[in-house]
Amino acid sequence: MERFQAKWKPVRRRKRDQRDAERFQAKWKPVRRRKRDQENNQSEFSLALFAPGADVILFPAIDLKDGLCVRLQQGDMTRATVFSRDPPQQAHMFEEAGFEYLHIVDLDGAFAGRPVNASAIERILEAVSLAVQLGGGIRDLATIESWLEKGVTRVIIGTAAVRNPQLVKDAAKAFPGRVAVGLDARNGKVAVEGWAETSELPALDLAHRFEDAGVAAIIHTDVARDGMLTGLDLDASIALAEPISTPVIASGGLASIADVERLLEPRAQKLAGAIAGRAIYDGRLDPAEALRLVRQARMRVAAG
């Protein structure tokens, strides 16, 4: 940790100077973006969203390939369907539909090991005031810090959580509540590098690895189901969530309102939410109906 601080302090100071300069420009920032920045800076914001049992969040997904919104099948870049050529407009539609938290993946970034669709992501951040979690190609602290400063609510670390677990621990400590782990499972093992590779690491081991690190959430994706509309594998996500205290978000295969109903059943109460992709884009899941169920469930929890 000391070495980490020594290495990162000067960068932080530089960033702070930069931030001071930016304050002068703050009044020129679009109102929407300022609202989200404020919320992100209230450190309890994302933590409160994940108080156990208090909330379930349905995240609409925007996966970016070559600057466009696509859905893949099982993470295969050769099986991509373009659903929108205008990512900010897509994000705006999700905001208008009533979603509160976007899930964005820089697919080219996940393969390249560095951000590739940064300009599309920055335009999304300017266009909406939704909270945003972002993954794909985030492999070092400088990239994490830079995205958080640009208004991303929390970053998702996938490959580096396997290859460089210390990064997750350092980042979670430096940015409490703002670091999530992407746990992409193929046959029980963790997939990395855009899912082009499968590591030897069992998914359950990765979940346990960060138990004390202060990670905000684990996003558990079943690679075989992703984009296939087969239904979520809630059993697997619940089994992963049961022995750990980190909130788990289920992903991969969400197909219809039935998945949302099952997510809200008492047996799934350890789950903090789910990601919806293709089902929204091709009209199988009506956002209004899904969000109504989520809100009803919240009111039930609030009423005790």
Q: Which residues bind ligand AMZ (CB under 6 A)?
A: 72, 75, 105, 107, 110, 135-138, 156-160, 182, 184, 192, 194-195, 221
Q: Report which residue's Cβ sits closest to ligand AMZ.
A: 158
Burial 283-300 (b: 16+ CB within 10 A, else e): eebebeebbebbeebeee
CB 274 within 8 A of CB 58: yes
State the nearest-atom distance from the C-beta of 160 to ligand AMZ, in Å: 6
Which one-letter amino acid corresponds to residue 73? Q
Give dist(CA 255, CA 239) in Å, integer.
21
State the nearest-atom distance from the C-beta of 26 to ligand AMZ, in Å: 31
Question: For this structure, is 184 an active site residue?
Answer: yes
State the nearest-atom distance from the C-beta of 105 to ligand AMZ, in Å: 5
- Toward ligand AMZ, which CB reaches closer, 105 or 268? 105
State the nearest-atom distance from the C-beta of 207 to ligand AMZ, in Å: 15
Q: Which of 18, 51, 60, 20 is nearest to 145 (CA)?
A: 18
In sequence order, which residues have a C-beta less than 8 Å from that of residue 284 and are 6 or more positions away?
A: 229, 255, 256, 278
Out of 55, 63, 108, 259, pick the active-site residue: 63
CA distances from 178 to 66, 124, 189, 213, 215 (A): 27, 19, 25, 12, 8
CA 138 to chain CA mean position, Å? 12
Mapped to the 3 state alphabet, what secondary structure does 154-199 carry? EEEECHHHHHCHHHHHHHHHHCCCCEEEEEEEECCEEEECCCCEEE
- Three-point CA angle 186, 188, 190, nearest 5°: 60
State the nearest-atom distance from the C-beta of 184 to ligand AMZ, in Å: 5
- Toward ligand AMZ, which CB reaches closer, 137 or 177? 137
- Toward ligand AMZ, which CB reaches closer, 56 or 180? 180
Out of 106, 108, 184, 226, pick the active-site residue: 184
Question: Catalytic positions, please?
Answer: 63, 184
